[in-house]
Amino acid sequence: MKVIAIALVAIICAVSAQFPNGRILEGPVPSLCAQRNIHERTPDGKGYFMSWRDANLRGTEEDWLGARNYCRQRCMDSISLETSAENEWIKQKLVNEHVKYIWTSGRLCDFKGCERPDLQPVSINGWFWTATFQKLAPTTSRDQNDWSESGGIGRPQPDNREAQQGGANENCLAVLNQFYKDGVNWHDVACHHRKPFVCEENEELLKYVRYHNPQLRI
Ligand SMILES: [Ca+2]
Ligand SMILES: [Ca+2]
């Protein structure tokens, strides 16, 4: 499995359209950035936080936006799996630590602002890592992503199953650990479900907060 990093493409979007009920994508809080808890570092020094390891969270699970906001307040964002190395690394943690599933920053661009031709059809070309504005490979390029070949109704992911069964659209990307006895891999899941999450340090947020708070060690 190879996850090809597609050229960084800024996805211009109407952010508010993604978040119903008046909720917003929150910005970093300098004091929380300074106190952020790092559980693991990759060889290049980037820090990660695993919600299930945090004693203060006591097993709290968040919906997709809640997970992003917890991370973003701390100069991180939900994990983006741009490379196969990072993908395999986090999957091994889920297996070793018996974690059933996690949220990632992956989302379907299906809101106002996603009409750009290269995102069409959205169900194939519209997935992106929101933390880094990087597009995923088309869902049809099965050797360049890690979508499961099965799911709740036995269809390859993404299948938007919940919407087909009268529920919400499955617009968010979770990594599931043997949930459907289908291995450890990617699933499209409705964003309102609550899950443990992994935060990944976000260079843009760190740079911004360091610049505006030179007195803080961040
Ligand atoms: Ca990443
Ligand atoms: Ca699905």
Average pLDDT, the chain: 92
pTM of the model: 0.91
**170 Cα: distance to centroid of ligand 2 (angstroms):** 6
List all residues 6 or more positions away from 68 whose beta carbon is below 8 Å from its beta carbon.
Answer: 25, 77, 78, 103, 105, 130, 131
Per-residue pLDDT reduced to its tens digit, 146-200? 999 999 999 999 999 999 999 999 999 999 999 999 999 999 999 999 999 999 9
Domains observed in the chain:
30-148+156-212 (3.10.100.10)
**166 Cα: distance to centroid of ligand 1 (angstroms):** 33
**84 Cα: distance to centroid of ligand 1 (angstroms):** 10
Is the pLDDT at 59 greater than 90? The verdict is no
**134 Cα: distance to centroid of ligand 1 (angstroms):** 10
Scanning the structure block, which residue is given the tokens 């390859």? 156
Of 90, 102, 99, 55, nearest in space to 197 by CA = 102
Per-residue pLDDT reduced to its tens digit, 124-134? 999 999 999 99
Per-residue pLDDT reduced to its tens digit, 4-43? 434 333 333 344 456 767 899 999 999 999 999 999 999 8
Strands (E), the chain: 40-41, 47-50, 76-78, 101-108, 127-129, 134-135, 172-177, 184-189, 198-201
Which residues fall inside 5 Å of ion ligand 2, going by CB? 151, 159, 161, 170, 187-188
Ligand nearest to C-alpha 154 = 2
Give the C-alpha separation, 83 to 77, whole Å.
17
Give residue 23's Cα distance to chain centre: 18
